[in-house]
Copies of this chain bind each other. A is one copy, B any other.
Amino acid sequence: MATTNAPSPDFSKGDGLVPAIAQDAETGDVLMLAYMNAESYAETLATGRAVYYSRSRNKLWRKGEESGNVQEVKAIFFDCDADTILLKVRQIGGAACHEGYASCFFRQVTPEGLKVIAERVFDPQEVYKKK
């Protein structure tokens, strides 16, 4: 995905960050939402792998750097205001969520409260071992 004169999202609204939605390129499932700054967006373009910016850790977050569950970026879209990014990705390992689910949206709001509507793909304690 070599891009010259690559169009840039509008990073001005959210303190230099824009939300980025990762959607499974094959199934259409929404996997997660994270944030990108200009540097992570540029690295995503350059490498073809999703790189976010972690608001809690205040640094680049190369998705999968610990778990191995990287996201291969198949296509990138901007919304009408260019302040949200949509990535269509191939999720290596089959799970985007650090809790071991394919999608981070594994809980549905129901009249009885939040209900888990998916099965775990991996055991987080195995994947994120304390070192």
Contact = CB atoms under 8 A, between A and B. Distances in A.
B28 A78 contact: no
Interface in A64-93: 75-81, 84, 86
B109 A77 contact: yes
Contact of A77 (B19, B78, B108): B108
Interface residues of A, number: 43
Given A6-B109, A19-B19, A109-B6, A114 B30 contact: no
Assembly stoichiometry (copies): 2
B97 A32 contact: no
6 contacts: A23-B30, A30-B86, A45-B109, A76-B109, A77-B108, A80-B101
Contacts of A33: 19, 21, 33, 79, 84
A107 B77 contact: yes
Interface string A96-128: 011101001111111101100100000000000
